[in-house]
Amino acid sequence: MSILDDWIERAETPKTLGDWPAWEAIAPRGRDAKHGPETRLASMRCEKYEFVVPLATASSLLIQGLRLRMLAPSQRKNEDLVANLESLYQGKFRCIARIEFWPESPHFNKHWKRLGIQANVQGSHVHSTRLNSRLGEDAFLPFENLPCAEPIDEPTSFREAVNKIETIYNISGLKEIEAPPWNDQLF
């Protein structure tokens, strides 16, 4: 079995939560860290909540090296919510699927002609393992970042977004997680 076939199987097989996740505040990193502490407004915009939870089989046996990572802006409710399905590969976790809800900008599919998909995706979308595997293993490298996505229906709430994650990633029990501890004074 190739690594791409393994990732497709991991993404599509029924799963459940291997632990109970808790949202934690995280410091900006990667490209968000560039905005750093220059201004309070920029740094507040980059503050995020995250949870990472291992995944298990339907019979509650942990699936080695498979986890769900969710990220949500701390200061912007129901915006830019991301759910990554990550698999351990060569000693590092690699994102094998991503769902983006209420993104700040449209997604451009740079291989749209090759895959026969639309060039631009407005709104919420999924970077599925199966779609990106058609581009080969390089599509899963950090510099490629799962380059192709397809639109999904826009959720109307955090709860609806979680229901979509549960369905798309085939993870039971996700519906019960709490929303990030957004500051209600902002809304």
DSSP 3-state of 29: coil
Q: What is the pLDDT of residues 101-155, one digit of tens each?
A: 999 999 999 999 999 999 999 999 999 999 999 999 999 999 899 999 999 999 9
187 falls in which pLDDT band (50, 70, 90)?
Answer: very low
Q: For residues 126 and 152, is the Cβ–Cβ distance under 8 A?
A: yes
Task: Give the pLDDT score at 27.
Answer: 77
Among 98, 83, 92, CA closest to 53: 83
The percentage of residues in the chain with a pLDDT greater than 90, rounded to a whole number, is 75
174, amino acid identity: L
CB-CB neighbours of 17 under 10 Å: 18
The pLDDT tens digits for 104-115 are: 999 999 999 999
Single pTM value for the model: 0.89
The pLDDT of residue 159 is above 70: yes
Strand ranges for the chain from DSSP E: 15-17, 24-26, 48-56, 62-73, 81-89, 92-101, 107-108, 120-121, 125-127, 150-151, 171-172
pLDDT on residue 89: 94
Collapsing DSSP states into helix, strand and coil, what is residue 139? helix
**Burial label, 146 (beta-carbon count in 10 A; 0-12, 13-18, 19+):** buried
**Closest by alpha carbon to 156, among 127, 185, 124, 178?**
124
| Model pLDDT for residues 56-89, shown as the tens digit of each residue | 998 889 999 999 999 999 887 888 999 999 999 9
Of the pLDDT bands very low, low, confident and very high (cuts 50, 70, 90), residue 45 is: low
Section 157-179 average pLDDT: 94
What backbone phi and psi angles, to 5 degrees, belong to 100?
-120, 125
